[in-house]
């Protein structure tokens, strides 16, 4: 019994080491592709995603979260919050989504980055894959509608109106106590933009009315100065006396 437990313990430690090494390799590769400004090839993405999916099994979502953290750091610290500059990182959003199909933000951001590279069909396919895995996602429904809204033609017109209308309905019927990744103002604004862009008649009046109200509220919020945080008693007494009171 003791030998069996020892073997199980060693197996657990060994597997944990595999996870740590895999995470380290992913981090190094991510840093390398970012620093060199070069994206992985689609073949490399497929190979990496398949190997990780097979090797990591039940901890796939944990590794996906790790990749997301690294991507978020790169987005803010290296690229200055500009998704349009993040072409070298696009494959890593794909891998994160592969490892965790319910990571909605990976599909949302990744498809947008691919779209900005001019790979519109690939972006649409990626966005649809995300929505298929998360059919109740307002964010991914809205995202797909947005990608079509950025395009031209009758197909884009039909699909933009279809998905943006669906996002609006889903948002309207959503639990108000549950946080949403996309606001009513964003959804209604894009839906209104679709009606305007393609001169579609008979836009529902309720959409126009609610959009105007939300825009007015947003404008008022921007005009309202943020309240200055109140100083506590120690701060009011200055650093010397204040430090004694703390």
CA distances in angstroms from 208 to 53, 72, 162, 173, listed in the order given: 46, 35, 18, 18
The residue that leads in pLDDT, 151 or 231, is 151
pLDDT confidence tier of residue 91, bands split at 50, 70 and 90 = confident
Instruction: Single out the residue of 99, 101, 77, 79 nearest to residue 89, CA to CA.
Output: 79
* Per-residue pLDDT tens over the stretch 45-62: 545 555 555 555 567 778
Identity of the highest mean pLDDT range in 22-31, 59-68, 72-81, 187-196: 187-196
Determine the pLDDT at residue 115: 94
Burial degree of 210 (CB within 10 A; 0-12, 13-18, 19+): middle
Write down the CATH number for the domain with range 18-135.
1.25.40
Mean pLDDT of the chain: 77
Determine the pLDDT at residue 51: 58
Residue ranges, CATH 1.25.40, the chain? 18-135
């Amino acid at each position: 019994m003791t030998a069996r437990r020892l073997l199980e313990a060693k197996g657990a430690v060994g597997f944990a080491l595999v996870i740590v090494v895999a995470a380290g390799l992913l981090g190094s590769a991510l840093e390398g592709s970012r620093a060199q400004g070069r994206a992985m090839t689609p073949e490399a993405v497929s190979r990496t995603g398949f190997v990780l999916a097979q090797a990591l099994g039940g901890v796939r979502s944990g590794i996906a979260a790790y990749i997301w953290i690294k991507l978020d750091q790169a987005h803010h610290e290296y690229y200055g919050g500009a998704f349009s500059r993040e072409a070298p990182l696009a494959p890593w959003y794909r891998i994160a989504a592969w490892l965790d199909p319910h990571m909605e933000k990976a599909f949302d951001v990744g498809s947008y980055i691919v779209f900005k590279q001019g790979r519109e069909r690939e972006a649409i396919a990626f966005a649809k894959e995300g929505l298929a895995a998360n059919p109740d996602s307002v964010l991914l429904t809205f995202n797909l509608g947005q990608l079509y809204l950025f395009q031209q033609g009758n197909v884009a017109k039909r699909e933009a109106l279809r998905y943006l209308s669906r996002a609006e309905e889903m948002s309207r019927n959503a639990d108000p106590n549950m946080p949403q990744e996309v606001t009513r103002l964003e959804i209604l604004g894009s839906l209104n933009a679709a009606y305007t862009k393609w001169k579609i008649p008979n836009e529902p009046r309720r959409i126009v009315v609610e959009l105007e109200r939300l825009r007015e509220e947003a404008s008022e919020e921007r005009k309202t100065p943020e309240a200055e945080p109140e100083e506590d008693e120690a701060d009011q007494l200055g650093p010397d006396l204040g430090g004694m009171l703390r």
